[in-house]
Chains A and B, each alone.
Chain A
Amino acid sequence: MSRIETAFFEIGSLDTLAGGDTFVHRLDPRAKVVTTLIFICCVVSFQKYQLSALLPFFIFPAVLLTTAQLPVGFLLKKLLFVAPFAFFIGVFNPFFDQTILFHVGPVGISGGWVSFASIMLRFCLTISMALILIATTSFNGVCMALEKIGAPRVFTVQLLLLHRYLFVLVGEASRLVKARALRSFNGRGTGMTVFGHIVGQLLLRTLDRAQRIHLAMQCRGFTGEIHQMRLFRFGWHEFFFTLAWSAVFLILRFYNLSQLLGGFLLEFAQ
C-alpha cells in the first residue's frame, strides 16, 4: 500500500475505534482531554535521569487500553512508526554525557544511557496517551472539549472542516498519484515539473470546492458562525474520573512507587 493510502487508512481506523461504546468512550471528552494533559505534564516534569518513577505511569494507558477494549497491537505499531525523531535526538545522549551514574556488576552505566532510556520511556507514555485519547474520543469530541476549555470557535471549526475534507482530498490526491504512476516510467514523470502541475491542479480543484461548500453553507443560512448541538455533559462520572486519575498522577509524581516497592521487597528479602 502506498503511503498516502496508509495514512488514509490509519485515520479511518482511529475514527472507527473512537466509535466504540465503553465507559471510557462515553465519558465527556473534556474529562479525557484534561486528564491526558495532566498525565503528560506529570510525565515530562521528571528530571532527565529518572527511570523507575516513570514506570508506574504505565498503569494509566494499560487501564484505558483494556477498559476501552482497544487493540494493543495496533497502537504499538503506530508507536514504533513515529519513534524516529525522539530516538534520533535521544541517541546522542550516551555520547555527550558519559558520567558514570552507577555500576551494574562490573559495567558502569553512564548518565547518557540512563537519560536516553528515560527519553524513550517518556516518548512511549506521552505518545500512547495521545493515541488513546483520539481512539476513545472522536476528533469531533476533542474539538468540542477544546472549545469548551476556551479555544476560539474559529479554530475549532477550522479543525472540524480540515478533518472532514481530509478524506475527500486525500482520495483525490491518491487518484492523481495513481494516474501519474501508471504513466511514468523509469523515474521520468515523477520530477518537480509534473509534481508542480499535479499539486497545482489539486489546488485549483480545492479552491473551486471551497467555493461550492461556501455556497452550500449559505444555502442553509450560514452567516459566518457554525452552530453545533452538543449532547455531552460533564457529570459525576467525569468528575471522579478526572479527579481520581489526577490524584494518582500527582502521587506517582512525588512518591516513587517503584522505589518504595523495591525497597520494601529488598528489606523483606533480608
Chain B
Amino acid sequence: MSHHIVAVKDLEYTYPDGTPAIQGVSFRITHGESVAIVGANGAGKSTLLMHLNGYLTPREGSVQVGDFPLTKATVSDVRRSVGMVFQDPDDQLFMPTVFDDVAFGPLNLGLPAEDVKVRVSDALSRMDVLHLKDRPPYKLSGGEKRAVAIAAVLSMSPDVLVMDEPTTGLDPRARRQLIAQLDSFQHTKIIATHDLDLVLDLCQRTIVIHAGKVMADGPTLEIFNDGKLLERCHLEKPLRLQGCPVCGRD
C-alpha cells in the first residue's frame, strides 16, 4: 500500500510579510506510520502542516501525498485523503449542531442520506460522543469539542490523519482518553505538538523542527534521550524520561 505515503521535499515557505517560516524541510512518511513533529512555539509546525493539504503553496520544493504530487489539479483529492484536525476546534466546528457538523464532509462527497447517517454515527461512536449528536458545538466542553472535531474528520474516512496540537487545552483525563483513542486508529498519523509525553505514547518516529528547519528525524526514544538537541530546539525531556526529583534516581 505505497499510495498512502506523504513525502515533502526541500520545502520552503515565506509569509507575505517576509517571515521565513519554512526553510528547506524534507521527509518521507510511509503507510501506517505514526510520526510526531515537535518544535517550540513558532518553529513552523502549523505552517508545515498547512502544506500537507494544499492550503499553502510552497515557494520552493514539493509535497507528495499518495501517488501524485500536490498540484492545483490534485488538491481536492488530496484534501479528501488527508484529514486535518485544527488546533482550535472552534474553527472546525462551524455547523449548528454536532450532527450537522460531522455530516458536512460526507454530504459534500455527495453520499446519499442513509450512508451519511451511518458514517456520522460511526465516527461519533468511535470517539465516544454519539450522545452529543444534537448539541450545538458552543455548548461542549474543550475535550468534547476536540473529540467531535476528530469525528468530523474521521467521517470523511481519510487515509492520513494530520493533527495540530491535539492535546492543548485538555484536562488530564480528557487527554488520556484522547491518547487511547488515537492509539487505536490504524491511519497514518502526523501529529504536531510540544507535548512530548504524548509523543512517547503514540509515535515511534519523531521529526524535530526548529526555526523552519529539520534538526533531527529518527526513533522517538533516541531523540528524547539527546538532551543537547532538545535544549538547542527549546524543548524539554518528557517528564517520564527525566530523573525523579525526589529520590534523585535516573
Nearest-Cβ distance from residue A35 to partner chain B, whole angstroms: 23
Kindly report which residue of chain B lies nearest to residue A222, judged by CB atoms: B108
Contact B105 A220 (CB under 8 A): yes
Judge whether B68 is part of the interface by a CB distance below 8 angstroms: no
A-binding segment of B84-92, B220-228, B236-244:
B84-92
Task: Decide if B35 is an interface residue (CB 8 Å cutoff).
Answer: no
Quick check: B94 and A216 within 8 Å, CB to CB? Answer: yes
Contact A221 B108 (CB under 8 A): yes
Measured in the bound complex, the distance between the Cα atoms of B156 and A15 in whole Å is 29
Other than the given A19-B134, A216-B91, A229-B117, 9 more pairs (CB < 8 A) read A160-B95, A164-B95, A168-B138, A215-B53, A215-B84, A216-B92, A216-B94, A222-B108, A226-B95
Chain A nearest CB: distance from B144 CB in Å? 15
> CA–CA, A12 to B139, complex, Å?
9
Residue of chain A at shortest CB distance from B76: A221
B38 interface contact, C-beta 8 A:
no
A213/B79 in contact, CB under 8 A? no
Q: Which candidate, B20-28, B96-104, B173-181, is the interface stretch facing chain A?
A: B96-104
Interface SS of A by simple majority = helix
Of B91, B97, B107, the residue contacting A212 (CB under 8 A) is B91
Contacts of A138 in B (CB 8 A): 96
Give every chain B residue within 8 A of A226 (Cβ-Cβ): 95, 104
* Residues of B in contact, count (CB < 8 Å): 37
From B113, B134, B138, B156, give the contact of A221 (CB < 8 A).
B156
Given A216-B91, A220-B156, A229-B116, does the pair A139, B108 have CB atoms closer than 8 Å? no
The CA of A15 and the CA of B117, in the complex, are separated in Å by: 24
Partner of B94, one of A15, A213, A221, A223: A213
Q: Does A163 contact B (CB under 8 A)?
A: yes
Contacts of A213 in B (CB 8 A): 91-92, 94
| B-binding residues in A (CB < 8 A) | 12, 15, 19, 138-140, 143, 160-161, 163-165, 167-168, 209, 212-213, 215-223, 226-229
Residue pair B53, A227 in contact (C-beta under 8 Å): no
Chain B contact residues, CB within 8 Å of chain A: 50, 53, 55, 76, 79-80, 82-84, 86, 88, 90-92, 94-97, 99-100, 103-105, 107-109, 113, 116-117, 134, 136-139, 152-153, 156
Known pairs A160-B96, A219-B79; A227 contacts B108 (CB<8 A)? yes
Interfacial chain A residues near B95, Cβ < 8 Å: 160, 164, 226, 228
9 contacts between A and B (CB under 8 A): A161-B94, A167-B138, A215-B53, A215-B91, A219-B79, A220-B79, A220-B153, A221-B109, A228-B103
* Residue of A143, A209, A220, A221 with most partner-chain B CB within 10 A: A220
Known contacts being A164-B96, A168-B138, is A212 close to B108, with CB within 8 Å? no
**Smallest CB–CB gap between B31 and chain A, Å?**
21
Tell whether, in the assembled complex, residue A212 and residue B86 are in contact, meaning their CB atoms are under 8 Å apart.
yes
